[in-house]
Structure 1
Amino acid sequence: MLYHAYEINHAAMAPLREAIEANKRLLESPYNPASYTWLGKTASAACDLFESATRRYAKPTWDLHTATINGVNVPIKERVVWEKPFCRMLHFERPATELQKAQKKAKAEPRVLLVAPLSGHYATLLRGTVEAFLPEHEVYVSDWADAREVPLSRGRFDLNDYIDYIIEMLEVLGPDAHIISICQPGPPVLAAISIMSEREHDSLPATMTFMGSPIDTRLSPTLPNRVAMEHSYEWFKENMIYTVPWPNKGVMRKVYPGFLQLSGFITMNQGRHAMAHRKYFEHLVEGDCDSAQKHRNFYDEYLAVLDLTEEFYLQTIRDIFQQHKLPKGEFYHRGKRVDPKKITQVGLMTIEGEKDDISGIGQTQVAHSLCPNIPEESQLDYIQPGVGHYGVFSGSTFRAEVKPKMQAFMRKHFDEKKEAHFQNSNEYLVRSLDD
């Protein structure tokens, strides 16, 4: 009933929102003398604040139209290259002719798959990450679907399906790509690479990078980790799962609603969000448009949330956050145990934030001990000083300090793979001539 109440409340607020919006337009009109007064500006700011607090935020757009390469603006085209009911893989294409003009010399561009978190926010949360990699890489990203928009007839989606999706996306990219797992995807991505390694899969990536990932939440547990342990699996099933109501496309699908996840995000930092909205109100009254727009840009992304399927959410809670099956060696995929020790040919990099309050220090680093058969020279662990969870993969510190280290690591293994491929080709040619 909670989901139905949420929908009814949104519908009931619609007439009031329309009235407030009309009043706001009146107060902001240059033909209205009140718009130039402190009282008029205050009333207009109050209307704006009400509108932003009661709006349902739609899925944001990527808005990535160009990438600057050696001072040249190269156009970007967003294209879907793979799609399943609950995810699609986007490629941010750079036209070859324009790219050649911008590059000083022709060179192979490492392919990067950014696996976005499926934990409440849309993949567009990685807009800044994608933008940072575009000048030097062919960038792909997993764009997860909102479960309330997927008809029940399209089937279920659980953690096993998630792993299968990762493998399929890597198959589309082919061998020697680079996969970057940001936050939540850490365990399923590690499981996917383990499975592919055991199968000696042709599409194994050259490197895998985990950023602020909950691979073993027993280490440096944070508030979200403790909440997962304080409640039973049955409690989550009874209190966090609701049925999608009409008129959503996913009507009758059982989900973990995005608005519940958002309430959890906000509760963790209530004071910070309250202060941000107070400053937003003050900026509107003062006419500080730049600061007000920065606030809008952030919250347009932050308040846009999606639903997770019941089976994916509950399996993640149980297997990853409560029973810690992957680090214990007890994680199974389609009836077969997942063994990260099978990974031997994929470079491993882990990145953590010193002040991360979502994935504590050590939760990502543990990937190195789980993958002991990766050569030491193919592993790199890095802790970024002074940043929290989001600073690990976005913002100025990420662009200035984290990204260059990631690129150097990927480029090193990319070049090594090319050299090995070249040597193997030469050996094959020599044998052919000898024969």
Structure 2
Amino acid sequence: MLRGYSYQLYEMAHAALVPARAVSDAAHFMFRNPLNPLSATAFGRNIAASAELFERMTRRYGKPVFGLDSIVVDGVEREVLEEIVWSRPFCNLLHFVRPDLPGHLDQPKLLIVAPMSGHYATLLRGTVEAFLPTHRVYVTDWTDARMAPLALGGFDLDDYVDYLRAMLAHLGPGAHTLGVCQPAVPLIAAVALMEAADHPDVPASMTLMGGPIDTRCSPTAVNKLAQQRGVEWFRANCLQSVPFPYPGFGRQVYPGYLQLSGFMAMNFDRHVNAHLEMFNQLVSGDGDSADRRREFYDEYLAVMDLAAEYYMQTIETVFVRHLLPKGKMTHRGEPVDLKAIRRTALMTVEGENDDISGVGQTQAAQDLCVNIPDEKKLHHLQLGVGHYGVFNGSRFRAQIAPRIAAFHAHVDALNRPKGWLRRRAKVRG
């Protein structure tokens, strides 16, 4: 009976904890204050650590910022500015500008399509940072559905595809694209539709990373759940109305807190152990290790609501009926034919230990896109990484990102007209 009001109950519980959080904040401040002699004792450090963990576990995490103010290229620090270059009600397209980087206008454009699957685009901060020295980087900054008034209308998977097509038209021909996880399906669909229409702004390449192109391959716990439950179970158990006083009051959404509970449940022991280790680090005074955990969970625990129509269409199309690999996916009644893709190059990236998108699910795109020339295809399986490691972390920076950049350079070289080098040398001479 209370199932339809769980969002409201969640908000009430959060509000009820406000007095306890105030006491916890005061205790944390008191027992970390160097003027308090107890702050240097084991008792004081235990109280301060306990108060901080209580505050963090009951906090409402807001939307993080990218915070990429500068990058170092060839040993020189360069300024990075963030600007919105395209905007719609459910997405802003961010451009990271490096105004004093020599030759930046000659670098290839890269559209990074962030997942709309719970976390904010800032989850890809490391992905963006890795390409800033070599590309003109753009990233999709999706809108939290609870912040979108009902007057703005709905947003579904078809709208998602339309947004990507409009962004690519805005960027112009020759851009490279990179879809991380969930965007793999709408990105490849957008490219197929543009190719079928012989659109002049079709991208030079698309890189699909850990995406659910065909979830029948190596199904994970997430995929099996979708198959077992079916579409109507998700409709009945996962959708809620945004409560007052959010701007999206009354909008049907898949709430962020439900998504987060699912994320945490998949690796519950790991998260418990991480917080126990953080407690011990705070008590022992290991501030650097504690800071790294703070940074990770500040990002991981910040979640957004998804529009119900988008969520349900994605569940049905991608995870239950597998319409894309079966050749039955449509966009506003128009078939999505992957055989139409001929000009856009394709790279797929998977993680050996990915427990969200199993090995083979992304690589399936290679077999489905039969008319892309072999010289414009590449698959990379990264050993020793899980889902998060496909687009972030040390192995991504050292092994995956350089391969993607090299693939872009390879594709650009293939696409250059014959005699390009001679003409360029003549102009420079």
Question: Does TM, normalized by the shorter one, top 0.5?
Answer: yes
Segment drifting more, 31-40 vs 247-256: 31-40
Which of the numbers 265, 268, 271 marks the counterpart of 2:266? 268
Aligned to 1:406: 404
Q: SS of 1:62's equivalent? A: coil
Q: SS of 2:87's equivalent? A: strand
Q: Aligned-pair distance for 1:293?
A: 0.4
Q: Aligned-pair distance for 1:234?
A: 1.0
The one-letter amino acid of 2:210's match is: G
The superposition leaves residues 382-421 of structure 1 with CA deviations (integer Å, 9 ceiling, x where unpaired) of 1011111111111110111111111111011123323369
Which of the numbers 96, 99, 102 marks the counterpart of 2:101? 99
The one-letter amino acid of 1:234's match is: E
Aligned to 2:246: 248
Q: SS of 1:251's equivalent? A: coil
The one-letter amino acid of 2:218's match is: S
Aligned to 2:358: 360
**In 2, Cα distance between the equivalents of 1:231 and 1:275?**
30
Q: SS of 1:304's equivalent? A: coil
The superposition leaves residues 91-146 of structure 1 with CA deviations (integer Å, 9 ceiling, x where unpaired) of 00010xx212xx6xx88201100000000000000000000000011000001110
Matched, 1:145 2:147: no
Aligned to 1:277: 275
The superposition leaves residues 230-259 of structure 1 with CA deviations (integer Å, 9 ceiling, x where unpaired) of 102111101000000001110000000011
Matched, 1:286 2:284: yes
Which of the numbers 90, 105, 116 marks the counterpart of 1:86? 90
**In 2, Cα distance between the equivalents of 1:6 and 1:240?**
14
Which of the numbers 152, 164, 177 marks the counterpart of 1:154? 152
* Cα 1:121/1:23, change in 2 over 3 Å: same
Matched, 1:17 2:21: yes
Unaligned runs of 5+ in 1: 427-435
Is the contact made by 2:82 and 2:94 (CA closer than 8 Å) also made in structure 1? yes
Aligned to 1:390: 388
Q: SS of 1:41's equivalent? A: helix
| % identity of equivalent residues | 51
The superposition leaves residues 50-94 of structure 1 with CA deviations (integer Å, 9 ceiling, x where unpaired) of 000000000000000111111111100000000111111000001
Aligned to 2:427: none
Matched, 1:63 2:63: no
Is the contact made by 2:168 and 2:203 (CA closer than 8 Å) also made in structure 1? yes
Q: SS of 2:106's equivalent? A: coil
Aligned to 2:230: 232
**In 2, Cα distance between the equivalents of 1:33 and 1:255?**
50
**In 2, Cα distance between the equivalents of 1:36 and 1:392?**
42
**In 1, Cα distance between the equivalents of 2:336 and 2:420?**
32
Aligned to 2:12: 8
The one-letter amino acid of 1:166's match is: L
Is the contact made by 2:208 and 2:349 (CA closer than 8 Å) also made in structure 1? yes
Unaligned runs of 5+ in 2: 425-429
**In 1, Cα distance between the equivalents of 2:401 and 2:91?**
26
**In 1, Cα distance between the equivalents of 2:181 and 2:419?**
32
1:35-74 alignment runs, 5 A limit: 35-74=39-78
Which of the numbers 25, 32, 37 marks the counterpart of 2:36? 32
Segment drifting more, 45-54 vs 18-27: 18-27
Query: TM-score, normalising length from structure 1?
Result: 0.94
Is the contact made by 2:27 and 2:47 (CA closer than 8 Å) also made in structure 1? no
Aligned to 1:430: none
Query: TM-score, normalising length from structure 2?
Result: 0.96
**In 1, Cα distance between the equivalents of 2:210 and 2:98?**
29
Aligned to 2:318: 320
Aligned to 2:349: 351
Q: SS of 1:299's equivalent? A: helix
For the aligned residue pairs, the C-alpha RMSD in angstroms reads: 1.4
Q: Aligned-pair distance for 1:12?
A: 1.0
The one-letter amino acid of 2:46's match is: T
**In 2, Cα distance between the equivalents of 1:335 and 1:80?**
32
Aligned to 2:114: 116
Q: Aligned-pair distance for 1:264?
A: 0.4
Aligned to 2:308: 310
Aligned to 2:163: 165
Q: Between Structure 1 and Structure 2, how many residues are aligned?
A: 419
1:166-245 alignment runs, 5 A limit: 166-245=164-243
**In 2, Cα distance between the equivalents of 1:15 and 1:44?**
17
The one-letter amino acid of 1:19's match is: V
The one-letter amino acid of 1:149's match is: M
**In 1, Cα distance between the equivalents of 2:389 and 2:278?**
22
Aligned to 1:370: 368
The superposition leaves residues 327-354 of structure 1 with CA deviations (integer Å, 9 ceiling, x where unpaired) of 0011010111110000001111001011
